Amino acid sequence: MYRISARQILVIAFAAAVMSAVTVLGFQQLSNHWQPFGSALTINPPANITDPSLATDEQNNIEVYKAVSPGVVYIQSTTTVRDFFGMFAQQREGAGSGSVIDEQGDILTNYHVVADAEKLTVSFGSGNTYAARVIGKDPDTDLAVVRLVQTPKEALTIVPLGDSDKLIVGQKVLAIGNPFGLDRTLTTGVISGLQRPIRAENGRQIEGAIQTDASINPGNSGGPLLDSHGRMIGINSQIESPTGASAGVGFAIPVNIAKRIVPELVRNGSVQRPKLGITPRDVEALGRQVDLPVSDGVLIWSVVQGGPAANAGLRGLVQTDEGVELGDIIVGVDGQKVADNDDLYKILDKHQIGDTVNVEIIRRGRRMTVPVKLTDVPATRRRGFGE
């Protein structure tokens, strides 16, 4: 029987906190398709600009900016932050960008821009500011939809959507946003890489991110990454930088992810995904602090009461008279190896709520298989943990 001491628990918890901090510091957060939103705009061909002093590429930049920038907004959020004891509160303000995606005044942005917002305002380039509210958010993809409380009288400019599955490294891209609060700033660059895995704030891996050298800074969060036709191909989300300012390595969430989940966000306010209802820890990372029976897999730290794992009898860490007993270690699902959290996410994402999966675990040194029916995780306990 494998047991760990209270001191080892503290070491594991500290290691988990450090890993989380590394993720945040390493990638600075920048504060079925659905057809109804993102109707195409008309980008005039460069030949329509007659100034001979402008190069063709400059003419294209100007036309894209003219056509799309009216649909890019500045989002400001207000959140109440309390101290450790919950006694002293202060207002914290955040800012980001967003794109108008339909005639109802829905705006696509990043989840981390509006995650804990108690008050939201949206500003257009005209200087007019409007109240808004979050109608849907998905921390797993770092996407959210904000809706204007009152749609402006003037016509909304809808940012058209492109196809992020057809991108090529080296093609030109443009980013429009509000870095450091500077209204509707345009930067240009190229696609530097494709299929980059990045991390959402909750630790979930986002597959297939677009890497670009277009300058992206705090405040660009949620703004559009555009192709040379003015079509949104990504939602600017993160940069890799030791200083927090642009170092020429930025990441955008592919627009095709938004096409897939936005209808559900608008309809239900969230995206329902099959989850086990556990707090997971990668065995490989923990193996340096604790003697574990396997070198990889996912340790169940705790289970959500009423969740699929708990209902199936899977166990997290348990306090006993002799110390703390290890939780179950997941090493496979439906015959597929699970080496870490990312493997678990990928396998579960292929299933639907209501499916039953066979989870292979190690408990007290013995290998066994437990059938788990994937039900929805209780809403009051969802926040904060991966699966």
Q: Would residue 295 show up in a list of annotated catalytic residues for this protein?
A: no
Active-site annotation holder among 102, 140, 142, 227:
142
Distance of CA 237 to the CA centre of its chain: 8
Measured CA to CA, the distance from residue 161 to residue 106 in angstroms comes to 14
Gyration radius of the chain over CA positions: 23
Angle CA 170–172–173, to nearest 5 = 120
CA distances from 238 to 59, 167, 196 (A): 28, 19, 12
End-to-end CA distance of the chain: 26
Question: How crowded is residue 289: how many other Cβ atoms within 10 Å of its Cβ?
Answer: 17
* Dihedral angle sign, alpha carbons of residues 65, 159, 254, 183: positive
Active-site annotation holder among 97, 112, 227, 282:
112
What CA dihedral angle connects 300, 302, 304 and 308, to 10 degrees?
A: 20
Measured CA to CA, the distance from residue 87 to residue 381 in angstroms comes to 24
111 burial type by CB count under 10 A (0-12 exposed, 13-18 middle, 19+ buried): buried
Phi then psi for residue 92, to 5 deg, are -115, 135
Active-site annotation holder among 99, 221, 241, 246:
221
Q: Would residue 33 show up in a list of annotated catalytic residues for this protein?
A: no
Q: Would residue 221 show up in a list of annotated catalytic residues for this protein?
A: yes
Judge whether 122 and 106 are in contact, CB under 8 Å.
Answer: no
Query: Residue 92 forms beta bridges with which residues?
Result: 79
With tokens 């897939």, the residue in question is: 260
Judge whether 38 and 55 are in contact, CB under 8 Å.
Answer: no
Question: How crowded is residue 93: how many other Cβ atoms within 10 Å of its Cβ?
Answer: 10
Measured CA to CA, the distance from residue 20 to residue 330 in angstroms comes to 21
Catalytic residue numbers, as ranges:
112, 142, 221
